Amino acid sequence: MKTTPIIQLEDVWKIYKPGKVEVQALQGVNLIAEKGEFISIVGPSGSGKSTLLHMIGCLDLPTKGKVFLSGHDISLLSENTLAQIRGQKIGFIFQQFNILQNLNALENVMLPMAFLGNSVDQRLARARELLAMVHLDNRMTHKPTEMSGGEQQRVAMARALANNPEVILADEPTGNLDTRTGGHIMEILKNLHEKEHKTIIIITHDLKVADFAERKIKLQDGQIIS
């Protein structure tokens, strides 16, 4: 029986008009991500990787074409419905970490669960479990300013897993880390894929990071070239 792709892009274009010049960031992109895949998307700066990330993560709508999340055409969903589905299905890990500076590690990881109505006790137990999984048992009450870059990225990873999403979408997850710490982050993602069957999609310019994936997609000038 054929299963519905978790993410599907059909002839997706994204065109920006910052001034008089039209910028075609994506040009007719077709992409299918099946449940349980580990995919890397590589390309030089300006190739459209960040724009593609926004499309895959349903953070933006295409100028032309369609984006489907678990079979749902996102253009037909209200923003509230889309935000709820996205919050349940996709966990985001960003290069800049994007964790809140005024909250400690536990509070940062608990935050996404609040929007889905989990009790405080449930959120606390889940956050502790996830921080232990990324080896931050002894840093739970520390704020980002008291942590290294690698520790902050692990907090961001734990937060991305808070709602047990099917998809982990990582944008240059090792970009601000040294080689050793970056390798540790990639091993955690590899384990999530192999042991928990998460769908992992990584945007990267680092070919060593891309090699962790089962399938590599090359992007250039807003088009998939291989």
Q: How many CB atoms lie within 10 A of CB 68?
A: 18
Local confidence band at 178 (pLDDT 50, 70, 90 cut-offs): confident
Read off the pLDDT of each residue in 166-175 and give the average, rounded to a whole number.
90
pLDDT at 105: 96
CA nearest to 157, candidates 117, 121, 184, 124: 184
CATH superfamily of 7-224: P-loop containing nucleotide triphosphate hydrolases (3.40.50.300)
φ/ψ of 138, rounded to 5, equals -95, 10
Q: Which residue has the higher pLDDT, 30 or 2?
A: 30
pLDDT at 1: 61
Q: Terminal CA-to-CA distance of the chain, rounded, Å?
A: 28
Angle between helices 105-114 and 149-160 (to 10 degrees): 20
Q: Which residue has the higher pLDDT, 180 or 212?
A: 212
What is the spatial distance between Cα 62 and Cα 75, in angstroms, rounded to a whole number?
Answer: 9
- Domain regions of the chain by residue span: 7-224
Whole-Å CA distances, 217 to 5, 49, 135, 174: 17, 11, 31, 18
pLDDT digit string (tens) for 118-164?
889 999 999 999 999 888 999 999 999 999 988 998 999 999 999 99
Residue 3: helix, strand or coil by DSSP?
A: coil
Read off the pLDDT of each residue in 195-212 and give the average, rounded to a whole number.
92
Whether residue 11 has pLDDT greater than 90:
yes
